[in-house]
Amino acid sequence: MLKTLSKWLLGLFAILLVLVLCVLLWFTNGVDAIYGAHTQEVDYTAFASRSELVAISNVNVLSEDGQSMLANRTVVVDGGEIISITQDGVASHDARQINGEGKYLIPGLVDSHMHLLKSPNDLLLYVANGVTHVRDLGGPTARLRWRSEIEQGDRIGPKLFVSSPPINTKDLLEGAFFELITFHKTTRSVEQAERLVKTYAEQGYDAIKTYHLDMPSYRAVNKLASELGVPTTGHFPLMMELNELTVTQQNEVAHLEEIVRVLIREFGSIHEQGSEAFFAHVEARSDAIIDDLLANDITVNSVLWFMENIHDQFSDLEAALKDVAIEYANPGLVEGTQDSDQYKVGWLPGYNQFEAEAEPNSDAFHKNDAFWRARETAHHILLRAMVRRGVNIVAGTDSGGNLVVPGFSLHDELVSLQRGGMSPAQALASATRAPAELMHSDAGWIAPGRRADLVLLEQNPLDAIENTKTINTVILNGRVFEREQLDAMLAAVVKANDNSRKINIDQYR
């Protein structure tokens, strides 16, 4: 009898174990689909190009200080490097000739905050949009492989700067679930957090990404990373006070939003006290915050357009969807999932976490509308103050977020930065020279000896920053991609996306 019962219990346990494993596989398969792992992959080898001797003649070249265009220059590129810049020069007849007359040459653009997720097609979107260097702030080890393949010329894509997976403080069960659905790694102690930092440094990550750590772990991570010579970037602890900026060793704040979030917590209820009182609070606190940022040489990543667009999604999601290049976005991310009303993932109506659920004339709608508007205005107040006082700001998009289309969104970000208080030259610098200096990159401005990451434009971005969209040719580490090739890249991504869709999005194209 006892043997029979034991066999029955073991059999039941085995069945339960199989069921749990099946559910786990089903769930992880769904997560992978959202991140783009099931999206048809474009054959990037069709766009392969070799580095060659290139001469761009009669072109207007962005000056090294980024303040003006230098007319009638001839720029010679060889072996992935800018060899010379001459006025009215004549290049070797052996060079590939590009007529730059009436055009404008700028450094390749940098998206300083993005997420590649699991669809390598996004790499082509960056190249086609003139983005020659990206900073993946929170990449799993597969990103290190992609980084190596790009550096060796085996894969087409922008140069990759890869930070570690975000390090987070959570308890055992919540942490295990969070690791299942994100690229995050969770810790429950200072010692565990320090072990992760050492591991990531040994693996060759370019930076350590912090998320919502507890305060002791946050301080320990920044201290150890500094000792190891690895920069830190990321989020603040959920309960961090802004006076921590006076002593923090964090090198970069991953979004303006991090500061705004703390200011909202400091202030209290915007609904009860009013938006104008909140704006006064932000104004009153700005200088002290900026004093600490400047004193500790802390860079701020902008991520402004995404924050502006949250209100657009809330107030009129249909219009917001039609205003972005949605056909290029990873369909898994666009379609998402809706497991419950509390957990929505996706961009479309019914799946979008920012979509208004209350009727437009209701008190709940007006309350949320006022909150999102106030949050957006606080970003603009801080940005204007930071620009005025010379805080180092780099342009980032947080691609992977709702309606943030890789490559395309950086141009949106630059327009938002100009609208938020930057001159066209300052906005352009935030996506060229500023991130290059932050990363100690050999690109970022046009000068002999610099890496040949260049974008040839039809119109002058110093007249209006939206002219960064008028791309004629992209030169990526000395390899030339003309407009026809760039268009072919974009068309290939759209075709792969359409072949992978489960939901028709024609109404938003």
Q: For 430-446, what is the mean pLDDT?
A: 97
pLDDT in tens, 252-308: 999 999 999 999 999 999 999 999 999 999 999 999 999 999 999 999 999 999 999
pTM score of the predicted model? 0.94
- DSSP structure class, residue 42: P
Give which of 249, 282, 284 is closest to 265, Cα–Cα: 282
Report how far residue 290's alpha carbon sits from residue 386's, in angstroms, rounded to the nearest whole number. Answer: 7
Do residues 374 and 278 lie in contact, with contact meaning Cβ atoms separated by under 8 Å? yes
Q: What is the pLDDT of residue 27?
A: 67
Q: What is the pLDDT of residue 16?
A: 75
Q: Name all domains of the chain by residue range, CATH numbers in brackets.
A: 52-108+450-497 (2.30.40.10), 113-439 (3.20.20.140)
Enter the tokens of residue 389: 């006082």
CA distances from 61 to 51, 444, 482 (A): 21, 13, 18
Task: Report which residue type is found at 340.
Answer: S
Q: Which helix (H) or strand (E) holds 457?
A: strand 454-457
Q: Which residue has the higher pLDDT, 192 or 9?
A: 192
Exposure pattern of 14-42 as b/e (b: 16+ CB <10 Å)? eeeeeeeeeeeeeeeebbebbbbbbbbeb
Q: What is the pLDDT of residue 32?
A: 74
- Phi, psi (rounded to 5 degrees) for 422: -85, 150
Enter the tokens of residue 367: 């309350």
CA distances from 476 to 102, 275, 411 (A): 21, 46, 18
pLDDT in tens, 192-232: 999 999 999 999 999 999 999 999 999 999 999 999 999 99
Enter the tokens of residue 485: 């090739």
Give which of 390, 400, 404 is closest to 308, Cα–Cα: 404
Q: Is the dihedral of CA 354, 360, 366, 369 positive or negative?
A: positive
Give which of 328, 343, 308, 321 is closest to 403, Cα–Cα: 321
pLDDT in tens, 371-380: 999 999 999 9
Q: For 40-52, what is the mean pLDDT?
A: 92
Q: What is the pLDDT of residue 320?
A: 96
Q: In what order do the strands lie in the sheet with 393-394?
A: 185-187, 167-169, 208-210, 232-234, 252-253, 299-301, 393-394
The contacts of residue 425 (CB under 8 Å, 6+ apart) are 66, 67, 462
Q: What is the pLDDT of residue 427?
A: 98
Give which of 32, 33, 344, 27 is closest to 177, Cα–Cα: 27
Q: For 343-363, what is the mean pLDDT?
A: 89
Report how far residue 140's alpha carbon sits from residue 357's, in angstroms, rounded to the nearest whole number. Answer: 35
Pairing of strands 109-114, 471-476: unpaired
Report the range of poorest mean pLDDT among 91-105, 190-204, 206-220, 312-326: 91-105
Report how far residue 211's alpha carbon sits from residue 166's, in angstroms, rounded to the nearest whole number. Answer: 6
* Residue 89, pLDDT above cutoff 90: no
pLDDT in tens, 418-429: 999 999 999 999
CA distances from 162 to 114, 140, 167, 429 (A): 10, 9, 14, 21
Q: What is the pLDDT of residue 1?
A: 59
What single string gives the DSSP state of each residue in 246-302? GT----EES-HHHHHHHHHHHH--HHHH-HHHHHHHHHHHHHHHHHHHHHTT-EEE-
pLDDT in tens, 234-243: 999 999 999 9
CA atoms within 13 A on the CB side of 410: 32
Q: What is the pLDDT of residue 357?
A: 86
Q: What is the pLDDT of residue 192?
A: 96
Q: What is the pLDDT of residue 20?
A: 66
